[in-house]
Structure 1
């Protein structure tokens, strides 16, 4: 087994044999696999963060501007239910409880604050940016 070689500057050079080459290939493959895993994880968390911000925007418009975006899915569900289950008069007069929108908005904003305050953003999205330049 050949020994390591030191050149004139005193820096280390590994032996140029088959085992060293195989180890370098395995190391490179592990780096590529980790980079791909971090990119996928970063993408999932970015989708989560984007959806959370969109939910906060919609809920804020419902709460502040008194729109009815949150009740639209419920009205669509009620529309497709048979009249024996839900009376037709409820289809037009359906209104959510006044505390539903502020409650969900509070949960969404709290989730966003905790996402940043707990360090999840730096750990899940920021680390992937430092590890692999996108």
Structure 2
């Protein structure tokens, strides 16, 4: 018995050769590329934020744990006081300026809290890991 010739199914598997099909595919590819680029930019911004937050935590931790004589924050604090109160803090005088100790501890607490919330809220997985 000879094989039967069956007509191709009406709903063929391959799309028809229309220019609109190629245009749609090109538009879809362009949207994928722009979405991937925006995700990479967002990932870079949040990675920079995370890196800066870790640097701030390390700096504040060194300010809290080291003795107050070696405080680096006392330098801009003294310059600000000299600018705001020039009659009390004369620039040539050797007035010892120390930063209020609970201020540094409070800043450290706030920055560590932000770091914990960054990971616990899922922002890391949403903004950084998703873009990968």
User: Normalising by structure 1, what TM-score?
Assistant: 0.79
Q: Which has the larger radius of gyration?
A: 2
- Partners of 1:97 and 1:53 lie apart in 2 by 22
- Partners of 1:107 and 1:62 lie apart in 2 by 15
Cα deviation code 1:57-116 (max 9, x no counterpart): 00000111234123232234445x277465217773211111011000000000000000
Does the alignment pair 1:62 with 2:68? no
- Partners of 2:88 and 2:27 lie apart in 1 by 63
Aligned length: 121
Contact 1:58 1:69 in 2 (8 A): no
Q: Which residue of 1 aligns with 2:25?
A: 24
User: Normalising by structure 2, what TM-score?
Assistant: 0.80
Unaligned 5+ segments in structure 2 are: 1-9
Unaligned 5+ segments in structure 1 are: 7-11, 130-134
- Partners of 1:99 and 1:13 lie apart in 2 by 70
Cα–Cα, structure 1 residues 86 and 34, in superposed 2: closer, same or farther, change >3 Å? farther
Give the one of 60, 77, 82 matched to 1:74: 77
- Partners of 1:114 and 1:83 lie apart in 2 by 39
SS at match of 2:101: coil
Give the one of 123, 127, 132 matched to 1:124: 127
Higher RCO (CA-CA < 8 Å; seq separation 6+): 2
Does the alignment pair 1:108 with 2:106? no
| CA root-mean-square deviation | 2.4
Q: Which residue of 2 aligns with 1:88?
A: 90
